[in-house]
Structure 1
Amino acid sequence: MTAPVPAAQPERAALIQKWADRHGIDAAHRLAQAEDLADAVAKAITPANTEDTYAKNWRVWERFTTTQGLPLLEGSRGALVTYVAWLLREGQTNGSGYAPSSASTILAGTVVSLRRHGVTVSRDDQAEARAALDGLTVKLLQNKERRGRGKATTAQVPDLYRVVRACPDTLTGARDKALILTGFHYASRAQDPAGLLAGDVALHPRGLIVSILTGKTKHSVRDAKIRYQNDPEICPVEAWKAYRARLAAEADPKWSRPDAPAFVGIHRSGTVTGGMVPDSVTRAIKRISVRAGVKLAWTGHSLRIGHATAARKKGRDVIVIADQGGWARHSRSLNGYFQIEDGWDDNSTADLT
């Protein structure tokens, strides 16, 4: 008779018992330790914002199963299809339905979390839930329901001048200029500047090299080169140098070390409060655009879209733009941004009359 294995989660305990029956208790213990290490590695390499998203999605699933009287740990075809219908109908805490894009994200995160809890969710069942979501989305459109914010506002070059001229002559103003101008030129997401250290931004005779080590995909791990621009007023390299010089002169020296955050939060009093996080970057970008009188307030994605569309308008090669911004070279989202420009210049209505 095989010796009993130590207590563990039911699904893990069953697996360990199978290993013990097959290989012996000592090997089973070592395999269990390897599983624990694999779990730890997976947790370590998963971005914190991704884990936060999974946690939020799981709380939505918990609300759904509670209100519908369904088992928490069951990912059947019927449960998932009912879930997407519920998300669109009444899933938000205020009783209104989610936008289809949000429901799609929540479904994906929920499936990941169910599998982490040991629940079997088949590809066919997940695919049927997604097909139901697509079909219900069409029904919403046919019923003239439009949900969601749509595409983020595009930051445009004339807006950069407005932003720069509206920045106060303070440490905060210098940081704001550097945040916007560098972000525009390497097509930043909100989490990109939040993840940068001072040592990740290096001066070069021809500009800056920004080593972006945070992002959603491997394509975001890149060295983005930012050249000096013709107009010093909106030159990201000059803005970066001015910000770092002012930070060194006005803040504790620890904030100028290479391992310090590249972009810091600053209190109204002028005191540095720590490194910026993605949410504070998003809030800053919106606040900066509102202060400058930009007609439609920017979001955390506005600089990213702005870079893609401005570079496309200048005739830059698609691959060059993709590499600079960390997109996959055949990215659907990037092609969508291009359509903002291409749809006007390459248009069947041009010069018809």
Structure 2
Amino acid sequence: MTALIPAKNTDLERRELAEAAQHYIDQSLSFATRKAYASDFKIFKTWCVANAQTALPAKPESVVLFLASQAQAGVAASTLNRRLAAIKCAHEAQGHATPTAHKGVTAALKGIRRAKGIAPIKKKAATADIVKEMVRHCPPTLTGKRDRALLLLGFAGAFRRAELVALTVADLAFVVDGLRVTIRQSKTDQEGAGQVIAIPHGSLLFCPVTALTNWLAVAGVREGAVFRAVGKGSRVGGAALSDKSVANVVKRYAGAVGLNAADFAAHSLRAGFVTSAAEAGASIFKLAEVSRHRSTDVLAGYVRSANLFKDHAGRICYERFGD
């Protein structure tokens, strides 16, 4: 049997192959991660220019000084972890030895973590009661109808903001019991195997399925992105909202109901669903069906927080004291 010997590639074909190879390498990281890394490395480069240091390739001593500067500025340890990852990624992409593996860098980060602590500052959960108040403040305008659908669906499906803005009409299947939503790709499904979640009908005023149906109808959205910008003259754009826009919507309506907008973010809807469902007695396994958490430990934390006072051991002690 004659072996198939590929013909020599032309210069053009080799360039196209190189571009394709780079594209696949880039796809090893999610869009959100690439965006965050680009921002983090830009911050590092800016600091290097201001402090007469070389960013690429960088010396370990420069990275240590950068970490100290960031820590003094109040940057969280978790953010510094990501910035180190961005510096490492940038060096590896250019074929340079990474300075982040140096013992001095790892020791500096460890010291920062011990000195500042590693507990994350969490945004507040937009629980069911809060979301209800938020949607009461949605005006009967086109933008208001979009925001109502976004808030109710974001809560009901425990959506991440990137998942919400990535939704297209093709991902929606309206059925008798409510809505089936296909999430093509997510933080816990980077390779795009796809996940389907159910959104049941809610009460008349707070039904995510009804709110979404109304938005799609009045906006004339029949294909493409579900959530879009609304411009002057109630003109609906063709592109999807940015993930930052989701955060802005949540903050705006949190402020409208008298809450501190700075305490809320897009993740508040997801956290609010899990918290509310845990308070209502939903099991971890039922929660995971909707939230798609890989780790039950994370969900267990929500359940513990929601049930801190339920069947508290101290109540037995108090009962002994009597009235």
**Structure 1 residue 35 displacement after superposition:** 5.1
Q: Which amino acid aligns with 1:311?
A: A
Change (3 A) 1:329 1:69: same
2:226 maps to 1:247: no
Partner Cα separation in structure 2 for residue 312 and residue 117 of structure 1: 47
2:70 maps to 1:87: yes
2:235 maps to 1:271: yes
Q: Which amino acid aligns with 1:111?
A: K
Change (3 A) 1:342 1:31: farther
3-state DSSP of counterpart to 1:106: helix
Aligned residues between the structures: 306
Change (3 A) 1:57 1:137: same
2:205 pairs with 233, 245, 253, which one? 233
2:310 maps to 1:345: yes
Q: Structure 1 stretch 183-192 or stretch 343-352: which is displaced more?
A: 343-352
Match of 2:257 in 1: 292
Match of 2:113 in 1: 137
Q: Deviations over 1:167-195 (max 9, x none)?
A: 11122221111101111011112222111
Is this contact kept in 2: 1:164–1:233, CA < 8 A?
A: no
**Which structure 2 residues correspond to residues 180-329 of structure 1 after superposition, within 5 A?**
180-218=151-189, 221-229=194-202, 231-248=203-220, 256-258=221-223, 260-267=224-231, 269-274=233-238, 275-294=240-259, 298-329=264-295
Aligned sequence identity (%)? 24
Partner Cα separation in structure 2 for residue 72 and residue 243 of structure 1: 48
1:99 pairs with 63, 71, 76, which one? 76
What TM-score comes out, normalization by structure 1 length?
A: 0.75
3-state DSSP of counterpart to 1:209: strand
Q: Deviations over 1:133-166 (max 9, x none)?
A: 232232235xxxx998x21110111112212221
Q: Which amino acid aligns with 1:257?
A: R
Change (3 A) 1:45 1:277: farther
Match of 1:108 in 2: 85
Change (3 A) 1:32 1:170: closer
Is this contact kept in 1: 2:60–2:105, CA < 8 A?
A: yes
Partner Cα separation in structure 2 for residue 178 and residue 313 of structure 1: 24
Is this contact kept in 1: 2:146–2:227, CA < 8 A?
A: yes
What TM-score comes out, normalization by structure 2 length?
A: 0.82
**Which structure 2 residues correspond to residues 137-156 of structure 1 after superposition, within 5 A?**
137-140=113-116, 150-156=121-127
